[in-house]
Amino acid sequence: MKNIHEITIDDPVILIRVAGLFREDMTPEELYHATRSSWLVSPVNANKAQYAFSINEGVVQEVYQIDGWNFAGMDDKNPDRKRYEFTGKIAENSVRNKYLYQSIKHYFKKGNRRSFMYLNVK
């Protein structure tokens, strides 16, 4: 079992909940694709985030360094809404090890069901 602690995030990040897609046996590639696409983000705010955290049940499952955000096309269910996805890679170990498998539940207020949240983006 992992040693999970509540942590404070001090980097500019976007927290992305992947609960509906997450499985314990996901490959790194599957987790990346579940995390990166396709979100109704503000490109202005999303581009201020340096890292994207893949979150399941309030625990950081992976940390990605964001290289950029691109248009992801039109969603079939909501053809009038533009969605975006990021490109990136697993963050360098100094950042990744600081956050990986740690609790960030305290950042989500009770009843908050948003799929993503920005932190420290200005």
Which stretches does DSSP call E strand in the chain?
Answer: 13-17, 37-39, 51-56, 59-74, 82-90, 116-119
pLDDT single digits (tens) 40-70: 999 899 999 999 999 999 999 999 999 999 8
Higher pLDDT, 89 or 2: 89
The conformation of residue 94, written as its DSSP 8-state character, comes to H
Residue 80: pLDDT above 50?
Answer: no
For the entire predicted model, the pTM comes to: 0.89
Residue 38: pLDDT above 60?
Answer: yes
**Mean pLDDT across the stretch 109-117?**
87
What value, to the nearest 5°, has the Cα angle with vertex 114 and ends 45 and 71?
45
Q: How far apart are CA 121 and CA 94, in angstroms?
A: 20
How many residues are listed for the chain in this entry?
A: 122
Longest dimension (CA), the chain: 44
